[in-house]
Amino acid sequence: MIIDVARQLALKNYRGAFRFEHDCPQEFVILPSARIAGKVTVEGEFEIYDDDSVGVAFRVSYLIAGQCSYCLEPAQKQVEYEAEVLYLTEDDGENYSYDGSRLDLTTAVNDAILFSQPQVLLCREGCSGIDIK
């Protein structure tokens, strides 16, 4: 998930779009007994500014599957999450940084996956949990 900023500048392309598929490592799934089914789709746009900072707006889309948090039946949910980030050529402690040439989106995408996951995974809306009789 690399944007070649130096190449874009050489071509005088200061804006552009991208689309990637990302294999999310299992350690980024925070729900117990859940996994990301398939690949994470990452789509977005970038803009290179005069000071060589790069604004990136993107959306992650993926299917999370596992057990219902209430009744333990199979469950899945389609997740869509939008993020806007800024890349700087210097580390300021608040934004992402890059070397001024190539920008790697992996950390920002993994952060978006962490932020976007539901607190609970339900098999259906209104699941009341395990039926004990």
Instruction: Please state the domain extents for the chain.
Output: 2-116
d(CA 64, CA 75): 8
pLDDT at 132: 66
| 5: enclosing H helix or E strand | helix 5-10
| pLDDT exceeds cutoff 80 at 131 | no
Mean pLDDT of the chain: 94
Interval 9-14 mean pLDDT: 94
pLDDT at 34: 95
Q: What is the CA radius of gyration of the chain?
A: 18
Contact 123, 73 (CB under 8 A): yes
> If pLDDT is split at 50, 70 and 90, which confidence band does 130 have?
confident
